Structure formats: structure tokens, C-alpha cells
Structure 1
Amino acid sequence: MSASPDKVVVLPVTGTCACGQHWNEVEVQDLLARQVMDLPEVRLQVSEYQAEVKVCPRCHGRQQAAFPGNVRGQVQYGPRFQALAVYLNVAQFLPFKRVGDVLETLCGQRPSEGTLALHLNLATERLAEFEAGLKEALLEEPVLHVDETGSKVGGKLAWVHVISSKQLTLYGHDPHRGSAAIQTMGVLPQYSGVLMHDAWLTYFQLPAQHALCNAHLLRELRFLHEQLGQDWAGELRAALQLVYHQHKVAPLTPMEKTAFLVRFDALLEAGLVSNPAGEPVPKQRGRVKQSPGRNLALRCQKRRDMVLHFLHKEGVPFDNNQAERDIRMVCVKRKISGGFRSDKGGKNFCRIRSYLSTLQKQGFSIFKGLVSIFRNNILIPKLSLL
């Protein structure tokens, strides 16, 4: 129940008692409360600004009062309405038509799709300084998580990339998936901390220290064990899970760590024995195709320190779930409203979504943040670790 209700309706006891006493003559002994929480009537509030015009009686010079700087058109929408429109599109992933449907139903006013696009363009333009500060802040993070997913533009495949931490999120939209997109975002080529990812080859070309997502590894090991009957994979999966939970409680002692590393290496050798190298096919060019089990064991051997980075350095997570949670919102958007009509639309979405995600991670109201954009007094979340 609310401690400060907006409206209180007192219900008096009326009439008389069975003995004939009039209740309006009796003092109130107690009050029993029930509350109803409801929305007020939703309607647009129209504020009209009337600028005085005066003509000097002596020289006939004409003077007009100045309109406020944010009142530029003869008729325009205010910051809260603009914020709601952008919130529905970028935070709730509604396409323009459905945004118009909601606003018309709630407020009795349906903005055109061109007007909605202008709101998004304005928000994107005003968040340019925020994005620049966000990129600088990400370079200071000790651990960054990265991932990418497909995103259609005009029916053609493009990509959304995410770089994130517990407190910060940066999305980027690009027609490319590889190094060209990473260069355009402008963070990872200069980053020297720990980069957590899913072993995509392009990431290994970056100068960062690398850590591999063990959630992906556990899923692969489970498939090998349950679907292909490879016991070594089941044992390695159980050993990884056990050491992870032990490490969460308290860092492993040198003896415990050594014992685990010996078992880790032994299970990988067992995996290679269970999956012997494939024989070359006569007259076939290129590498010899290997079994999934052998490929996984070889990768874990080659990237051993990256797979087990969480054991060697404090603060490095076990998995890449942070980036997967952040990129999942883009997948939800794709399911609800599809892709983008233009590359500019994708870039607008990513910059505004970066701002909303960062606000949300730090406990700020994303609606208040959107309103602050259109009031041109932007609420900036904490970007520096200092």
C-alpha cells in the first residue's frame, strides 16, 4: 500500500445504532483502509505560448517577444510525448505502425511515421557526446564481453555488435560482421584488458588478453557426451562445473589448481584417443576433416589458458553471459518488428539502445532519461570507474 495516496475518500458511518444512538454523534475510533491503484485519464496537455507583439508609438518600430528555445514549430509534440514514442520503438521494439496505434489509443493523437523518424534522429544526434564518452569508458574496463548477431536492413543481412560490461553497453550496427565492423566501432582495436568471447576467429586478431566462454564449452561437451556417447566429455564437463563452483566460494589453493590442471589435460588426451585423426582423402585439397570431439579437444589444448582464464586472474568471469544477455534484446527486437528500413535506422537504434541499456544497468529510469534527451538536458550515467 502507498504511504502517500493522491486521494483519500473517507466513508462515514451513517444512521443509528440498534439502541437508537445516532452515529454522527459518536467519535471515530479507527479507520480501515483499502487502496485502488489506477491510471489517471491519459490526454495530451496543450500549452500555448503567446508572444506579445508591440509597435513603438514614436518610431513605429515593431518588437516581438522571443519564444522559448525548445518551442520551434507552430504545433509540435513535447518531450514526454517524444520520449514515449521512442521508448515504444527502441525499448519495447514496436514498429512505427504499432507505435502509432498505441499513441492514438492512449493519447488520441497519431504521429506520422516521418515524425517518429525525426524523434529518433534527434535523440541519436543529441546522444553523440554520450556515445563518445561511453567508448572511452569501455577502454578503462578490466573485462569486456563481446558478441554479434544478424540484423536485416532492407531485406539484406547486416550485423549488430555489442561490447559490454556490468555497468556499460555499446551497440554498433554495420553491414559487415568481421574486422571492418570492429574497426568502425573504435573500441576493441585499442583495448588491452581481458576480452571475453565465444572463440570467433576474428576476435583473436585483437591485441586484448583473451578469455573464452565456458558456457559454450559446457554445451558442446554435453552434446558429445549425451548424443555421441563420449564419456571423457561428460567427465570434463563435470570437472569444469565443480571447479567453477569451488572457485566461486574461495580461490583454489595451488595444490587444488595443479590437481585440476592435470585432470583437465588428461581428459583432453582421452578425448584425442577417442577421436583419432582423420585420414587424408586421395586427391582432396585442404585440411582433413576431423570429428567434432577431436576439434574440441584440440581447441581446448591450444587455447588452454584462455579457457581457464577465470582460474588464473581475479575478476574474470566463467562465461560470456553478460554479452549474451545484452545481444538477446536485439534478437527480441528482430522477432517482434523485424529488421530496419535503412542503415541509418539501425545506427539510430543502436546508439539509443546503448544509452537505455547503460541507464538500466545503473538503476536509472530509462523513461526519465529519454525525457531528458528531448529537454536537451541529458541525464548522463556514470561512465568512469574512478
Structure 2
Amino acid sequence: MNTQLQMQVNALNASLNSLQQSFDAQTALITQLNQTIQELREQLNKNSKNSSKPPSSDGFKKPAPKSLRKPSGKKVGGQEGHQGTYLSVISDPDEIVKHMPSACEGCPHYKMCKGTACVAEKRHVIDAVVTVNVVEHQLLEIPICMLHGDTRKGSFPNDVKATVQYGENLQALSVALNTVGAVSVKRTHEILSGVFNIPLATGIISNMVKRCADAVSETVNRIKQKVADSSLGHFDETGTRVDKKLWWVHDASNCEFTYLDISPKRGYLGMEQCGVLPLFHGISMHDCWASYWSYEDCQHAVCCAHLLRELTGIAENHPEQKWASAFIGLLIKMKKVKDKAVEAGKETLSYYHYHKFDKRYDELIKQAREKNPLPVTAEKKRGRKKKGKILALVERFDNYKASVCLFIHNFMVPFDNNQAERDLRMIKVKTKVSGCFRSEEGARDYLKIMSYVGTAHKQGHNAYDAIRKAIS
């Protein structure tokens, strides 16, 4: 009987161990599924306000509010003293149309009354009249020179090279529509052919863009050197499609110059290929992408707008992370204090503010680390332990504190990297409208022209006028 009971106990223990293993496996699976659900929920809740996703990805479900700015209390629209753009008559009218009262039509005294009528009110209609101007260049020949006795023949201007060709104004308009206007080559052909009634083929438009890009190549190289020699540079990158593949447009710019280049790589190799950061020794403003920290010959500044979006995402998806909302308030407070100091003509903050911000920064880092300790696992695996996005952001704030807070120590450094994002915005518009670039050569030509036009705009020049001068 003892032996039989012992066998029953062993069988029950084996069954219990099997059930325990099954329970442990189900518990691990539930934990993994809960983590997956949480990650998917966070991904579903992401938008342009709480992540690095562009506003175009929001669709019809726009986040409200899209900005962390608070209402200023000012009225909506243009503020007092704002110099607006409006219609005005800048010259004498080309045509005058007089309107008599409709009741006077058919009256026997119509002509007499019309001669004594005075102008009660004037209204102007400003319109553009499209005309095509054809200039014929004739080469004259003198059969016998009275002085030398030989035959003399004139010469065409340097810019008149073909039997029939397009003028500078039409070329500049075609290039401006295709590049600055982000209109595809086919639609540019349709618009201009319809407006001017000229057989402007798509291949001709592509050749115009190519010639303009070649004309500005030397200027773009000088722009690149100017950015590399500057004391503050904004750097960013964005993806686009080239020949059905993902390529990356790299931007290096400041308030005076814009340089754009393209590479199949986003990280260090792409930055090396574009060639600005290897020569740069000033303050590099970027979004904390890991590859930027490979350059140690320059000082780094982190875009706080990107950090605010990540903090907003944590505050919305993890309400228990109270430190995230507090960090948002700290960064905005730091910006407000700096802006007031700049308006007052100061170059630095007071010791009180530096000490206050530094102490509060460290307190929030401590709270965040206590709330998000490094996970302890019994399994021994190679490599670094998985931290998760929240702890990774906390460590980023801790490790790069000097770069995050540089904007309050050096007033030349802005709070965000909006300059680079503005310079890259037209790339996304071009990609959205035209779909992609057919070839690497076409993408490089487009970026050369946009670098030239972007710099011209910052220097106070009109885009069309700048392109026309480049062509001429």
C-alpha cells in the first residue's frame, strides 16, 4: 500500500510540475501580449503632436491642439503694424471702361447725358495678359568691304545658339514651376503649352532644369563652404523615393544659406558623403540622431521641439509618468525666461535662473529613473539590455544635458531645429505631388536648384528672378 501511495504521489507531482510549466508559459505569453498591445496602442495614438510623424500622416483625424503654445489673448489675424500684401494700382490703367446707368439705354438724350456725366466711383481689375514675343536675329553679310576688299559677316550673340530656341523668361518659368512650384514635368508641359500655345515637350523641360542646375553648380559649392564655415548650423534629413528606392536628403543650413544633398544612406555614411559635417567646427543643431554624435570637432545642440513631442507622447500614453508633464513645463519655462531676457537686451540669464533650472532638471531625471528602473532578467544574453523608449529618453536627457540646455547658456542657439525642417519641407511637397524622382541625376539637379533658390530667398531675392539670372 505504501508503494502504491508513493506511486500516486509521484504521478501527482509530475502532473503538478506539468501544470506549473504550462502556467509559467501562459503567464509569459500574457505578459508578452500585454506588452505588444501597449506598443500597438502607443503606435495607434501617435500623431504629429506627440511624435516625430509629419502632419501629413495625421489624415482627417487632426490632433487638437497641434501646438504646445498657449493662447496669447491677441485677436485672430494680422496684428497691428503688420505689413501685408494687397492689390493696389501702381500705374495708369491700360484700358478704361465707362458704365452709364442701365435705365438710360434707349433714351433720345443718351449722348448728351453721357457727355456731361462725371465719375462717381472707380474700381480696378488687375489681370495678366499672356503674350508671346518672337525675336528674329538676322546675320548680315557684306559681300565686298570697301576698305579691305574681303567679305564681312556679323555674329550672333552668345546666348543665341540654335535655329529656334526658347527665351530666358520662358525657361525660368518652366524651371520655377517644376522645382519651386513642385509641379511634375508632365503637368508643367500641359500648363505652359495651354497658356502660351507653344509646343513645349516634356524632354525640353527636363533639359531646361538640367541646364539651370549646371549653371548654379559653382554657386551651390560656395554655399556648401559657407555653411561649413559658419558658427551655427542646422542639420536634418528626410526620406524620398529615387528610382523606386528609399534615399535620404541631407540638409545643412543656417539663417543665410541652404545646402541640400542626397545619399542612399541616412546615418554617418550619408553625412560623410554630403561633406558638410566633416568640415564643420561650430555649433551643430540637430534632433539627437545617434550618427550626429560621431562628430566630436563641433559643439552639439539638441532640438527641444523633438523632445517636447516625445514627452507629450509619454504623458498621453502613460499617465502614471508624472515627470514627463513636469519636464514639458520646465523646458517651456526655460524658453520663456530666455525670450524675455533677449527682449530686454541681455546676453545671459541670472545665476538664480541657472541654478533653479539646473536643480529642477536633476530632480526630474531622478524621478524618472526611479519610475523606470533598468529591467532585471534572469536570462544571460549578449549585448545591452533592452531599455524601452521611456528609459531611453530618460538616459538621453541625462547624458546630453549640456546639449539640451545649451539654448539658455548661448543665446545664439535657438530652442528648436525649425530652420532645417523649413528648408526640407519642399522635399516632402515635391515627393507628395510628383511621387518620386526617376533618377539620382534628376534628384541632384532638383536639390542644386532648391539650394540656390533657398539661399536666394534668405538673401531677399525673388525665386523666379534668381532662376532667370542663373539661366542668363
Same fold per TM (> 0.5)? yes
Q: CA deviation at 1:24?
A: 6.9
Are the aligned partners of 1:272 and 1:294 in contact in 2 as well (CA < 8 Å)?
yes
Q: CA deviation at 1:6?
A: 3.8
Cα offsets for 1:40-66 (capped at 9, x unmatched): 1x2321111111133238999544210
Are the aligned partners of 1:197 and 1:212 in contact in 2 as well (CA < 8 Å)?
yes
Q: Give the distance between the partners of 2:115 and 2:143, measured in 1 at CA.
A: 67
Change (3 A) 1:22 1:337: closer
Counterpart position of 2:317: 227
Q: Give the distance between the partners of 2:110 and 2:237, measured in 1 at CA.
A: 79
Q: CA deviation at 1:8?
A: 4.7
Counterpart position of 1:351: 448
SS at match of 2:469: helix
Are the aligned partners of 2:349 and 2:409 in contact in 1 as well (CA < 8 Å)?
no
* Residue pairs, 1:94-243, within 5 angstroms: 94-206=183-295, 207-229=297-319, 230-243=321-334
SS at match of 1:195: strand
* Residue pairs, 1:32-111, within 5 angstroms: 32-40=121-129, 42-56=130-144, 61-111=150-200
Cα offsets for 1:143-194 (capped at 9, x unmatched): 1111111122110121111111122111101222233332333322111111
Change (3 A) 1:110 1:279: farther
Instruction: Say which structure, 1 or 2, has more relative contact order (CA 8 Å, 6+ apart).
Output: 1
Counterpart position of 1:384: none
**Structure 2 gaps, min length 5:** 1-87, 342-347
Are the aligned partners of 2:229 and 2:281 in contact in 1 as well (CA < 8 Å)?
no
- TM-score, structure 1 length as denominator? 0.90
Cα offsets for 1:312-350 (capped at 9, x unmatched): 112100111111111121111111102211111111001
**Residue type at the aligned position of 2:294:** Q
Q: Give the distance between the partners of 1:120 and 1:24, measured in 2 at CA.
A: 55
Moved more, 172-181 or 361-370: 172-181
Counterpart position of 1:247: 338
Cα offsets for 1:256-303 (capped at 9, x unmatched): 111111011100110010001012451432211113221111111100
SS at match of 1:91: coil
Q: CA deviation at 1:108?
A: 1.0
Q: Give the distance between the partners of 1:126 and 1:52, measured in 2 at CA.
A: 31
Please point out which of 66, 74, 92 is paired with 1:5: 92
**Residue type at the aligned position of 1:328:** R
Q: Give the distance between the partners of 2:351 and 2:199, measured in 1 at CA.
A: 66
SS at match of 2:433: helix
1:289 paired to 2:386: yes
| Percent of pairs with identical residues | 32
Counterpart position of 2:70: none
Are the aligned partners of 1:275 and 1:291 in contact in 2 as well (CA < 8 Å)?
no
Are the aligned partners of 1:152 and 1:340 in contact in 2 as well (CA < 8 Å)?
yes
Are the aligned partners of 1:162 and 1:172 in contact in 2 as well (CA < 8 Å)?
yes
Q: Give the distance between the partners of 1:25 and 1:294, measured in 2 at CA.
A: 86
Q: CA deviation at 1:224?
A: 1.0
Counterpart position of 1:323: 420
Q: Give the distance between the partners of 1:10 and 1:107, measured in 2 at CA.
A: 27
Change (3 A) 1:57 1:293: closer
Q: Give the distance between the partners of 1:344 and 1:45, measured in 2 at CA.
A: 33
**Structure 1 gaps, min length 5:** 376-386
What is the Cα-based RMSD across aligned positions, in Å?
Answer: 2.6
Are the aligned partners of 1:145 and 1:165 in contact in 2 as well (CA < 8 Å)?
yes
Change (3 A) 1:226 1:23: same
SS at match of 1:324: helix
SS at match of 1:171: strand
Counterpart position of 2:470: 373
Change (3 A) 1:281 1:38: farther
Q: CA deviation at 1:37?
A: 1.1
Moved more, 153-162 or 183-192: 183-192
Cα offsets for 1:51-106 (capped at 9, x unmatched): 11332389995442101110000011111111111111111111211111111111
Q: Rg bigger for which structure?
A: 2
Are the aligned partners of 2:145 and 2:151 in contact in 1 as well (CA < 8 Å)?
no
Are the aligned partners of 2:184 and 2:434 in contact in 1 as well (CA < 8 Å)?
yes
Change (3 A) 1:22 1:244: same
Q: Give the distance between the partners of 1:178 and 1:111, measured in 2 at CA.
A: 41
Q: CA deviation at 1:20?
A: 12
Change (3 A) 1:173 1:22: same
SS at match of 2:392: helix
SS at match of 2:179: helix
**Residue type at the aligned position of 1:243:** M
Q: Give the distance between the partners of 1:265 and 1:110, measured in 2 at CA.
A: 68
- TM-score, structure 2 length as denominator? 0.74
**Residue type at the aligned position of 2:317:** Q
**Residue type at the aligned position of 2:330:** A
Change (3 A) 1:24 1:191: same
